Homo-oligomer: A and B are copies of this chain.
Amino acid sequence: MNSDSCFRRKREPHVGPAAVTPINNKASSGGLPKTARGEATRKSILDAAERVIGSNGYSDASIGQITREAGVAQGTFYIYFKTKEQVFSELVLEMGRLVRHRIAEATANVPNRLDAEKAGLTAFLGFVQAHPDLYRIVQEALFVDPKAYRAYYESFANGYIDGLNTALRAGQISPGDPETRAWALMGVARALGEQLVVFNTKTPIQDLVETGFDLIANGLKP
């Protein structure tokens, strides 16, 4: 329940002229569009939101900017989204789907877990580099929409845990609590991704993967 400073408290819900009004339930406020036109408009708003929020951050991104960027009037925004927070949440969800899909794709036909770790890390870093904005968006979700933030990482973790369990049963990795390991491994990937887009390291992705993977596979022991 964060939100921008202005207009925090919702205004008293405005009751229409009377029950007489035709039940104009529109696509109204958050509803999904019912025609191709609406579909297109909604998408262009969402895309604009991605760019604007991605580069300015949530608080500094204004609905005006977003709609201008999308080429629609300001009021149009509220035909498709109930609040500013809602677009943001959808952005986070969408991004989660994209990353997971990309990693699943990259690790799909890799039968060995360690190779899968390497492939997954490579795919993740490639994705981060291609979508630096989306990376920041997820980070900010912790404050704007904690639920979405948790959902993002948890659905990520679940897949990871499954993978580790399978590998464990197949004797491909040493024993160890899969849940904690999953979070730790995600932490490695996240940190290296952050190196890329937040700290702008000069280290090439390939080297990050090399060093990161060696650590994951063999640890620090001499």
Interface residues of A (CB under 8 A from B): 2-6, 8, 57-60, 62, 113-114, 117, 136, 139-140, 142-143, 146, 149-150, 153-154, 171-174, 176-177, 179-181, 183-192, 194-195, 198-199, 203, 207-208, 211-212, 214-222
Secondary structure at the A interface, as helix, strand, loop or mixed, is helix
- Give 25 CB contacts A-B under 8 Å: A2-B60, A3-B59, A3-B60, A8-B60, A139-B143, A140-B142, A142-B198, A146-B198, A149-B198, A150-B198, A153-B199, A171-B222, A172-B222, A174-B221, A177-B203, A179-B203, A180-B195, A180-B207, A184-B211, A187-B187, A216-B219, A216-B220, A218-B218, A218-B219, A219-B219
Given contacts A4-B59, A184-B212, 6 further A-B contacts (CB under 8 A): A57-B143, A58-B143, A140-B142, A174-B218, A177-B211, A183-B195
Tally of this chain's copies: 2
**Do residues B215 and A218 form an inter-chain contact, with CB atoms below 8 A?**
no
How many angstroms from the CA of A222 to the CA of B8 in the assembled complex? 54
